[in-house]
């Protein structure tokens, strides 16, 4: 699959038909898969290409439309790439390559630091010091019920949400160079995204930055609902698996979150944790971001100490390496095969 998805400019597409471009956090995970395969230096090549369109202020776009000049330029207002970002998983990728003894070029490490600096310094911060995203797509969790409040009184439907996502792009506030700084219509500091910023900061050796974010995240732990929250809006309290990512960096809440990941009435699942808590009214184990298990999130929760490696492997196998799958049966959904399902290699080999 990885060979079939490799593109000569130096990146792996998530899927040849559904996702024929380069996505930022996908590429960071692909880099780990190439490292595990260990045949050549594509782990470094992929990371370098993912960071190659970084702006002077550190902003890293989340999609690169390699080989299609002008594609979607009107939509994004930027040539060749999107104009929003995704979780900065390059910190973890660089640290992991280092731990495996791969020399990571200084320039890449420098780009990773500048990417993180952009989020920590140039992004609007909330009162509690957390980093805001400018659009739900930045979290990588596109249709999560966490964003349902933005659908208005009619509630969530795939169609309504598609329209709202389009509208939310029009209110992004940009720097003079076009980098996305804030969005008054979507001023959200998601627990999951902030946990990944903190985790990647820690991976790059920035313990103080990571600790500061972890302290701020601690105030977002809701012991009654057993989840970290995104803020005061009601859907920011819906129990989703991405909202448990603070287990990577926060001691508070950790025992409860890990217990729920292993509990079949909560986030348990033979093929990985469902994206949404099973008791949530909207839980649907077949629907994009509203219940299936996602390999990259299962991989991250395992990094945080949840014993879900076997579940990731079971789901990757049963689904035929799908983009996401049913948390119980492993039936594959979305794009099949999808490169990041290859993360299952990392939990078996080590």
Site residues for ligand GLC per CB under 6 A: 14, 19, 23, 25-26, 140, 142
Q: Residue 64 pairs with which residues in a beta bridge? A: 22, 81
Q: By C-beta, is 19 or 161 nearer to ligand GLC?
A: 19
Give per-residue burial for 117-146: e unless 16+ CB within 10 Å, then b. Answer: ebbbebbbeeeeebbbbbbbbbbbbebbbb
Structure tokens at 69: 């000049």
C-alpha–C-alpha distance, residues 248 and 255, integer Å: 12
Q: Which residues pair with 10 in a beta bridge?
A: none
Please, what is the minimum distance in Å from the beta carbon of residue 82 to ligand GLC?
11
Which CB, 29 or 59, lies closer to ligand GLC? 29
Indicate the residue among 142 and 149 with the shorter CB distance to ligand GLC: 142
Which residue lies nearer to ligand GLC by CB, 62 or 326?
62
Minimum gap (Å) between residue 216 Cβ and ligand GLC = 24
- What is the smallest separation between the CB atom of 310 and ligand GLC, expressed in angstroms? 24
The distance of closest approach from Cβ of residue 270 to ligand GLC in the complex, given in angstroms and rounded to an integer, is 23
| Residue 186 beta carbon to ligand GLC: minimum distance, rounded to whole angstroms | 16
**How far is the C-alpha of 224 from the C-alpha of 324, rounded, in Å?**
29
Q: How far apart are CA 290 and CA 285, in angstroms?
A: 7
Distance of closest approach, residue 95 Cβ to ligand GLC, in angstroms: 21
| Residue whose entry in the numeric block shows the structure tokens 């996401």 | 324
Q: In the complex, what is the shortest distance from the CB of residue 294 to ligand GLC, in angstroms, rounded to a whole number?
A: 8
Residue 14 vs 190, nearer CB to ligand GLC: 14
- Which C-beta is closer to ligand GLC: that of 9 or that of 110? 9
- Give the separation between CA 258 and CA 268, rounded to whole angstroms: 10
Q: In this structure, what are the phi and psi dihedrals at residue 301, rounded to the nearest 5 degrees? A: -65, -35
Would you say the C-alpha torsion 220, 222, 225, 227 has a positive or negative sign? positive
The residue number whose beta carbon is nearest to ligand GLC equals 140
DSSP line for 22-84: EEHHHHHHHHHHHHHH-SSSHHHHHHHHHTTT--TTS---SEE-TT-TTTTHHHHTSSSB-SS
When the beta carbons of 23 and 118 are compared against ligand GLC, the nearer one is: 23
């Amino acid at each position: 699959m990885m060979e079939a998805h490799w593109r000569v400019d130096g990146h792996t597409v998530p899927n040849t038909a559904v996702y024929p471009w380069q996505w930022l956090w996908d590429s960071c995970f692909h880099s780990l898969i190439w490292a595990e395969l260990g045949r050549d230096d594509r782990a470094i090549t992929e990371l370098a290409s993912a960071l190659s369109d970084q702006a002077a202020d550190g902003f890293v776009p989340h999609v690169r439309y390699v080989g299609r000049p002008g594609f979607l330029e009107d939509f994004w207002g930027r040539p060749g790439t999107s104009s929003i970002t995704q979780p900065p998983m390059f910190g973890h990728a660089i640290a992991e390559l280092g731990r495996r003894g791969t020399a990571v070029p200084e320039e890449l490490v420098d780009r990773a630091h500048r990417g993180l600096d952009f989020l920590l310094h140039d992004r609007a911060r909330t009162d509690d010091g957390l980093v805001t995203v400018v659009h739900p797509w930045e979290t990588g969790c596109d249709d999560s019920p966490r964003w349902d409040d933005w659908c208005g009184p009619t509630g969530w439907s795939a169609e309504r949400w598609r329209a709202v996502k389009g509208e939310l792009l029009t209110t992004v506030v940009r720097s003079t160079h076009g980098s996305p700084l804030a969005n008054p219509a979507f001023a959200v500091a998601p627990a999951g995204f902030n946990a990944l910023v903190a985790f990647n900061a820690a991976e790059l050796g920035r313990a103080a930055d990571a600790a500061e974010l972890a302290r701020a995240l601690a105030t977002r732990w809701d012991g009654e609902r057993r989840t970290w929250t995104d803020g005061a809006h009601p859907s920011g309290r819906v129990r989703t698996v991405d909202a448990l990512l603070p287990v990577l960096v926060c001691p508070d809440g950790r025992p409860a979150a890990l217990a729920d990941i292993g509990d079949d009435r909560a986030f348990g699942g033979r093929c990985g944790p469902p994206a949404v808590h099973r008791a949530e009214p909207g839980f649907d184990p077949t629907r994009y971001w509203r219940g299936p298990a996602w390999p990259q999130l299962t991989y991250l929760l395992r990094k945080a100490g949840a014993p879900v490696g076997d579940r990731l492997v079971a789901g990757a196998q049963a689904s035929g390496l799908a983009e996401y799958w049913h948390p119980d049966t492993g039936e594959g959904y979305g794009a099949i095969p999808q490169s990041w399902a290859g993360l299952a290699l990392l939990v078996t080999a080590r």
